[in-house]
Amino acid sequence: MSIDNYLLYVLIAVGYIASPGPAVLVAINGGVAVGMKRTAALLAGNTVGLGILAFISALGVGVLILNSAKLTVAVKILGALWLVYLGIKTMRSPVAPNPELDQNRLRKIYAGAGGLAAFRDGLILALTNPKPIVFFVSIYPQFIVADEFIARQFLLLGATFMLLSFGILNLYSALSAVIAGRFLDANKIRLVNYLFGGAFLALALFLLAETCG
């Protein structure tokens, strides 16, 4: 895998993780409601869950890459089309905060709960969310080189995603007191949605050109 392809993967992963969504809202509201330390335990559990999902996805994608070049190309095209869908969905996402993730609810959930309970809930949150699997299955084939050591490439991509997720979401949590009010402003959310959505569409077109060119 070339350094250019790896950096492109990092760019896509950062956009996917940092774009407004439930995980970002949990990080921001959790930082305000129960503090960064308690929220970090939840996000650590979420990161471990992502690692498990990445491993499961890698098994399926690895078998595909090793056994069928034509199917790999088809999955690459579907993955790029999924990025188109993700871009359009992000641009059209509702701008109203999710009432199910408000600070009072988080306080009630974690009142008296220790870090282990928060870690467990974060793990369950990741394992019961199918979206990361869709991301891994769609994106992995775009960057894995079949004639190189596949397991090492999967390990690199999976570990990178885990570290980025933990770091970015904890950054949101750490800055929650500063950005919570601004982040939940409808106009700013709409602008951010369009920026991330447009970036996903541009990356999708690039990947389609690389695959079909």
Q: Between the CA of residue 8 and those of 79, 84, 113, 157, 194, what are the distances in Å? A: 15, 16, 39, 11, 20
Start-to-end CA span in the chain (Å): 19
**Distance from CA of residue 207 to its chain's centroid?**
18
- Give residue 72's pLDDT: 65
Q: Which residue has the tokens 């601004």?
A: 182
pLDDT at position 7, please?
A: 92
Burial 70-90 (b: 16+ CB within 10 A, else e): eebeebbbebbebbbebbeeb
The pLDDT profile of the chain, 213 residues, written as one tens digit per residue, is 789 889 989 988 998 888 776 677 777 777 766 667 777 888 888 889 888 888 888 887 766 665 666 776 776 777 678 678 767 876 776 655 544 444 555 555 454 455 677 788 778 877 877 778 888 888 888 888 877 888 888 899 999 999 999 999 888 888 876 665 555 566 766 776 777 678 778 877 877 777 676
Separation CA 139–CA 87 (nearest Å): 14
Q: What pLDDT score does 188 carry?
A: 65
CA trace torsion 207, 59, 21, 102 (10° rounding)? 180
State how far the Cα of 45 lies from the Cα of 56, in Å rounded to an integer.
17
- The structure's pTM equals 0.72
How is residue 34 annotated by DSSP? T
pLDDT score, position 213: 60
Q: What is the CB-side half-sphere exposure of residue 134 using CA atoms within 13 A?
A: 12
Taking the domains of the chain in order of start, what are their residue ranges?
3-212
Q: At what angle do helices 3-18 and 150-174 cross, to 10 degrees?
A: 40
| Amino acid 101: pLDDT | 45
Contact status, residue 14 vs residue 168, Cβ threshold 8 Å: yes
pLDDT score for 100: 45
Sorted by sequence, the CB contacts under 8 Å of residue 206 that are 6+ apart come out as 8
- pLDDT value, residue 67: 67
Cα–Cα distance, 100 to 170 (Å, whole number): 20
